[in-house]
Amino acid sequence: MTSAITATGLRKSFGSKVVLDGIDLEVGAGTTFSLLGPNGAGKTTTVQIMSTLVHADGGEVRVAGHDVTRNPRAVRAAIGVTGQFSAVDNLLTGEENLLLMADLNHLARAEGRQRTAALLDQFDLADAARKTVTTYSGGMKRRLDLAMTLIGDPRIIFLDEPTTGLDPGSRRMMWQTIRELVADGVTIFLTTQQLDEADELADRIAVLDHGKVVAVGTPDELKRSIPGAHVRLHFAGATGLDAAERALGGSFRRDDTLTLEVPSDGGAIAVRELLNRLGDTAAAVDDVSVHTPDLDDVFFALTGHPTTEATPGMENAR
Amino acid sequence: MTTMTLAVRDSATMTRRSLRHVLRYPVTLVVAVAVPVLVLLLFIGVFGALKAGLGAGSHVSYIDFVMPGIIVMTAGYGSSVTAQGVNRDSTEGIIGRFRTMAISPTSVLNGYVVSALVRTLVSAALVIGVAIGLGFRPTADAGRWLAVAGVTVLLVLAMTWLAVPFGLAAKTAEGLTGFILIVQLLPFISSAFVPPGEMSGSVRWFAAHEPFTPVINTLRGLLTGTPSGGTVLAAVAWCMGLALAGYLWARVLVRRDLNR
């Protein structure tokens, strides 16, 4: 797997406040990587360093094979950035905004017009194309913002909390767009504080808390990595339940539902081993299900606080 | 394409963007003409009859005397509009977007400056037109008018290159109040409306030495034929110095970390 983005020992402080305390990340080309964390964890700063907007105090970042400090222009040519606040020209129309981006991407005039029309259609903005952006809703502005990022056909896209504040419909549309981009081979670096979003979209997730990466892996690996995962065995009758309880020490019996909960990482090998331990009793099991904690549990276990805990101010100060 | 032609192309794109803002909201231009005209009306209404401060034996009518100051005020007002526009782009985040794109960082700045130059020169021409309607009678010939245009361009460049970094540095629109007050008030404490010789104490010293005074005296000399003495050199030096300082400051701001 080739890497689209690598960060090693990334450090950044603003004054005495340490925002990034030596983080390492690796993002494979053509994958979706999600940086998950609460407000103030350092997500936006990470994106700003990777997109050449802010200089790191230490460490090395390579994007599309180029060092962000030594060759920012080559990095900029490869990336597109959509931040959590729409960076659009409110005094122009949606169409003019896209044509402006086409010009700045040095597209030929005809190609710029063609791509603009296609993106207006794709993002459901064709009807509002000739209206100034001041008349747009928040969701429309965000869609325009992403369309402006896409006009230059970037191979690596940074999305900094792209769905924060969006209504459910716009949010699903954004997700769909992200999936289509990845299907086209684009690398997505997504920050979010919404666990379901990371779960839904990301191939790999890094959990960022107080400037440190506290866990990294696929959504499933993360869910299995913490205690609380278990295999639930359902029995047709109490006889089977009794026998299974004797065979499997340390399990939790529920008579009301005729189930036995056995702590396990929930992986296939563990489940097979567990059924082997049951021996003949396995025949009495009429249902097996694996229960893994959701990312909320993971987040709580890793950081000691739920994602809803917000430390406002830091990340919003731009 | 070479880096140079790309920079020119990007600068032209950014200039078109800013000029489009002016065309979309022409009221900006109307106000930019109306404010100096109102000040002109105020001064010729209040002081026009007196001619007191002009010194004995002056053949210059008061409207001819104050017009250079009004031109400077037009440039000052224009630069405050520029600073507000730059600040809006900076706080709304589009400058951040431009900075993640493979375009020359200074092309963003060039766009502001070129469009501000066009906008301010248009409003200055309109203000002069209105003033001629009100009785302004410059004696300049074609060559001197060309010189007037040259000095005005220099002045607007200086004011704009100052406005850009102020607009970039201010974290909110309110943070610009100081800059706007200074560029709009400084012309009043200069040779614009009353010769500094008529003023007293430290105000007199200040009015005689502030940057607008040599510019106003130069314009007055060119427009009305009064001797402007050694002020041409001082005017050019002030404008070039301020423009260079603003340009260097803006370059630093546009390359440093994004506003936090």
Model pLDDT for residues A117-163, shown as the tens digit of each residue: 999 999 999 999 999 999 998 889 989 999 999 999 999 999 999 88
Interatomic CA distance for residues A190 and A61, integer angstroms: 17
What is the three-state SS of A199-219?
A: HHHCCEEEEEECCEEEEEECH
Q: Tell me, what's the ipTM?
A: 0.86
Position A310 scores a pLDDT of 41
pLDDT tens profile A57-104: 999 999 999 999 999 999 999 999 998 777 899 999 999 999 999 999
Instruction: Test A48 with B258 for CB contact under 8 angstroms.
Output: yes
Interatomic CA distance for residues A291 and B3, integer angstroms: 58
Position A93 scores a pLDDT of 96
Position B86 scores a pLDDT of 94
- Which of A207, A41, A74, A19 lies closest to A10 in space, CA to CA? A19
Query: Which chain A residues contact residue B1 at CB under 8 A?
Result: 106
Position B48 scores a pLDDT of 65
Whether B228 has a pLDDT exceeding 80, the answer reads no
| CB nearest to B97's CB, from A14, A87, A91 | A87
- All CATH 3.30.70 domain ranges of chain A, comma separated, are 230-291
User: Which residue range(s) make up the domain with B145?
Assistant: 3-50+64-255
Position B1 scores a pLDDT of 60
User: What is the CATH superfamily name and number for domain A3-223?
Assistant: P-loop containing nucleotide triphosphate hydrolases (3.40.50.300)
Q: Answer whether B101 touches A (CB < 8 Å).
A: yes
pLDDT tens profile A261-273: 888 877 888 888 8
- Indicate whether B28 belongs to any domain: yes
- Indicate whether B141 belongs to any domain: yes
- Indicate whether B37 belongs to any domain: yes
- All CATH 3.40.50.300 domain ranges of chain A, comma separated, are 3-223
Contact call for residues B162 and B246 (beta carbons, < 8 A): yes
Q: How far from chain centre, in Å, is Cα A108?
A: 34
Mean pLDDT of A193-222: 89
How distant is the Cα of B106 from the closest Cα of chain A, in angstroms? 13
| CB nearest to B92's CB, from A81, A90, A103 | A90
| A and B: number of Cβ contacts within 8 A | 72
Interatomic CA distance for residues B115 and B14, integer angstroms: 9
B108: closest chain A residue by CA: A104
Contact call for residues A229 and A291 (beta carbons, < 8 A): yes
- Indicate whether B172 belongs to any domain: yes
- Tell the CATH topology of A230-291: Alpha-Beta Plaits (3.30.70)
Whether B58 has a pLDDT exceeding 70, the answer reads no
Position A307 scores a pLDDT of 54
Instruction: Test B259 with A53 for CB contact under 8 angstroms.
Output: no
Domains held by chain B: number: 1
DSSP classification of residue A92: S
- Indicate whether B117 belongs to any domain: yes
- The residue of B18, B23, B88, B101 whose CB has the most chain A CBs within 10 angstroms, and thus the best one to mutate to test that interface, is B101
- Which of B97, B259, B101 lies closest to B168 in space, CA to CA? B259
Whether A56 has a pLDDT exceeding 80, the answer reads yes
What is the DSSP annotation of A30-91? T-EEEEE--TTSSHHHHHHHHTTSS--SEEEEEETTEETTT-HHHHHHHEEEE-SS----TT
Contact call for residues B170 and B86 (beta carbons, < 8 A): no
**3-state SS class at A225:** coil
Give the count of beta carbons closer than 10 Å to the beta carbon of residue A245.
17
Contact call for residues A207 and A303 (beta carbons, < 8 A): yes
Instruction: Test B94 with A55 for CB contact under 8 angstroms.
Output: no
Instruction: Test A76 with B100 for CB contact under 8 angstroms.
Output: yes
Given strand A187-192, what is the order of strands in its sheet? A79-82, A156-160, A187-192, A32-36, A204-209, A212-217
Contact call for residues B99 and A53 (beta carbons, < 8 A): yes
Please list the residues that pair with B137 across neighbouring strands: none
Mean pLDDT of A14-35: 93
Position B50 scores a pLDDT of 60
How distant is the Cα of B10 from the closest Cα of chain A, in angstroms? 6
- Which of A6, A36, A5 lies closest to A219 in space, CA to CA? A36
CA-to-CA separations, A151 to A29, A86, B168, in angstroms, rounded: 20, 16, 27
Instruction: Test A53 with B9 for CB contact under 8 angstroms.
Output: no
How distant is the Cα of B245 from the closest Cα of chain A, in angstroms? 24
Q: Answer whether B1 touches A (CB < 8 Å).
A: yes
What are the tokens at B9?
């192309």
Q: How far apart are the first and last CA of chain A?
A: 35
Interface of chain A toward chain B, CB-CB under 8 angstroms: 14, 48, 51-55, 73-74, 76-77, 79-81, 83, 85-92, 96, 100, 103-106, 132, 148, 152, 317-318
- Indicate whether B260 belongs to any domain: no
How distant is the Cα of B228 from the closest Cα of chain A, in angstroms? 44
Contact call for residues A144 and A97 (beta carbons, < 8 A): yes
Mean pLDDT of B95-110: 89
- Indicate whether B33 belongs to any domain: yes
- Indicate whether B185 belongs to any domain: yes
Confidence category of residue B259, pLDDT binned at 50, 70, 90: low
The torsion region of residue A59 among left (phi > 0), alpha (psi -120 to 50) and beta comes to: left
What are the tokens at B33?
């003409």
Which amino acid is it at A246? R
Interatomic CA distance for residues A258 and A177, integer angstroms: 45
Instruction: Test A103 with B13 for CB contact under 8 angstroms.
Output: yes
Q: What percent of chain B has pLDDT over 70?
A: 93
How distant is the Cα of A65 from the closest Cα of chain B, in angstroms? 16
